[in-house]
């Protein structure tokens, strides 16, 4: 028999799942039926949060849904991040790691320095700046959603940061494939590295790589961009504790700040899932190939469902009037972050070309 405290969560969780289902359906219609792609280049998560924001601002959300929506935003989100680790196969990244890892580190440090300066110049909330910076440098919406709980970000700050990353991520997704082909003279390695380090979301990187492949017949570029982006995603393990430390170190002493208190332990689950994938590949790929692939695919699907449900819940809980009150300054930060990571990526690849290739 269920505890009554858990029963109150069910309506909100079901509502978030229904929004995920509708968003996935819209994604398939727009991406595959209308645009004609085999795999939609549009993020289901993006549709979910926008759809949720529209519904949440047109209709008054009943109190019976609120507890379940809050649970989805916090707990189901973390479960989705843990499941996300199953798609990472770092043992395959060694081929590009010597170039990709230093490039990613340089891009991350550069954006963090620039945004640290912008916080002082534009006087935007520190939490907002942190969310935009980690979204720009690591893995877009997923990084924002994972970082928000450990810096106590507000719902409207999360939604604004996600909207920010979505706008500039889509912009770079559409422009960068053509720019990189011209700038890097149709060289798959450098184009793939650029796309993988300069575009925010994993889905957007895959879409940009797909656009490039279809326009310039280069599946190798798509593979390199995707692998580079997955390497970049692993930096989530480092960046979340770092941001938690940076945000909490200035708190008053009575808060009794401790790294053990703010460490996001669900990241450990994320790491465990990465190792599970690699150990499973070594053990099962030769004997129980189909079974293991099915397990991995199902966990990937669960990750997508859980994360999209969390974003739908965020959207439903967002008041657009609060976003309006934040003004234009965070979007300036987002644009500068996008430009910075793009410029630094190009510059670093140029240095590699001139001195090491």
Q: What pLDDT score was predicted for residue 183?
A: 94
As a whole number of angstroms, the distance between CA 224 and CA 190 comes to 9
Q: What pLDDT score was predicted for residue 350?
A: 92
- Under a CB-based contact definition with an 8 Å cutoff, are residues 265 and 237 in contact? no
Q: What pLDDT score was predicted for residue 254?
A: 45
37 within a domain of the structure (yes/no): no
196 within a domain of the structure (yes/no): yes
* Per-residue pLDDT reduced to its tens digit, 253-282: 444 445 555 556 677 787 788 888 888 888
Q: What pLDDT score was predicted for residue 308?
A: 85
Q: What pLDDT score was predicted for residue 89?
A: 62
How distant is the alpha carbon of residue 305 from its chain centre? 14
Q: Which residue range is the domain that position 234 belongs to?
A: 89-302+320-355
* Count of CA atoms in the C-beta half-sphere (13 A) of 36: 2
pLDDT tens across the length of the chain (357 residues): 445 577 888 999 999 999 999 988 888 887 777 766 666 666 677 788 788 888 888 888 888 888 888 898 878 888 887 887 787 665 655 666 678 889 999 998 988 888 888 887 887 888 888 898 888 888 787 788 778 888 888 877 888 888 888 778 878 988 999 999 999 998 998 999 999 999 988 777 877 887 888 788 888 888 788 778 878 887 887 888 888 777 777 555 444 445 555 556 677 787 788 888 888 888 876 666 788 888 888 998 898 888 889 888 888 877 777 666 667 788 888 888 889 999 999 999 999 888 876
Buried b (16+ CB within 10 A) or exposed e, 49-82: bbbbbebbbeeebeeebbbbbebbbebbbbbbbb
62 within a domain of the structure (yes/no): no
pTM above 0.85, yes or no: no
The tally of domains found in the chain comes to 1
As a whole number of angstroms, the distance between CA 304 and CA 231 comes to 19
Q: What pLDDT score was predicted for residue 179?
A: 94
């Amino acid at each position: 028999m269920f505890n009554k405290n858990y029963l109150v969560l069910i309506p909100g969780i079901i509502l978030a799942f229904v929004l995920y289902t509708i968003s996935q359906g819209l994604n398939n219609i727009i991406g595959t039926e209308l645009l004609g792609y085999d795999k939609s280049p549009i993020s289901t998560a993006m549709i979910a949060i926008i759809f949720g924001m529209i519904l949440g601002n047109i209709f008054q959300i009943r109190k019976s849904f609120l507890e379940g929506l809050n649970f989805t935003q916090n707990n189901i989100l973390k479960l989705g991040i843990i499941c996300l680790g199953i798609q990472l196969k770092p043992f395959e990244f060694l081929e590009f790691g010597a170039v990709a890892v230093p490039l990613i580190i340089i891009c991350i440090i550069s954006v963090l320095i620039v945004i640290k300066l912008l916080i002082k110049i534009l006087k935007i909330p520190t939490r907002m700046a942190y969310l935009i910076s980690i979204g720009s440098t690591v893995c877009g919406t997923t990084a924002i959603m994972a970082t928000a709980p450990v810096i106590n970000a507000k719902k409207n700050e999360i939604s604004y940061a996600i909207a920010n990353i979505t706008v500039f991520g889509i912009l770079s997704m559409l422009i960068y494939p053509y720019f990189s082909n011209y700038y890097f003279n149709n060289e798959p390695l450098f184009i793939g590295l650029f796309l993988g380090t300069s575009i925010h979301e994993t889905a957007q990187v895959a879409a940009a790589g797909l656009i490039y492949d279809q326009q310039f017949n280069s599946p190798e570029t798509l593979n390199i961009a995707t692998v580079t982006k997955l390497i970049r995603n692993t930096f989530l393990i480092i960046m979340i504790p770092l941001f938690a430390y940076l945000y909490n170190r200035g708190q008053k002493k009575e808060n009794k700040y401790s790294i053990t208190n703010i460490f996001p332990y669900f990241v450990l689950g994320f790491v465990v899932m990465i190792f599970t994938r690699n150990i499973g590949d070594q053990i099962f790929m030769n004997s129980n190939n189909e079974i293991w692939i099915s397990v991995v695919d199902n966990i990937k699907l669960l990750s997508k469902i859980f994360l999209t449900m969390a974003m739908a819940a965020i959207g439903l809980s967002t008041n657009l009037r609060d976003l309006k009150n934040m003004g234009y300054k965070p979007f300036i930060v987002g644009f500068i972050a996008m430009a910075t990571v793009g410029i630094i990526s190009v510059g670093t690849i140029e240095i590699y070309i001139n001195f090491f290739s």
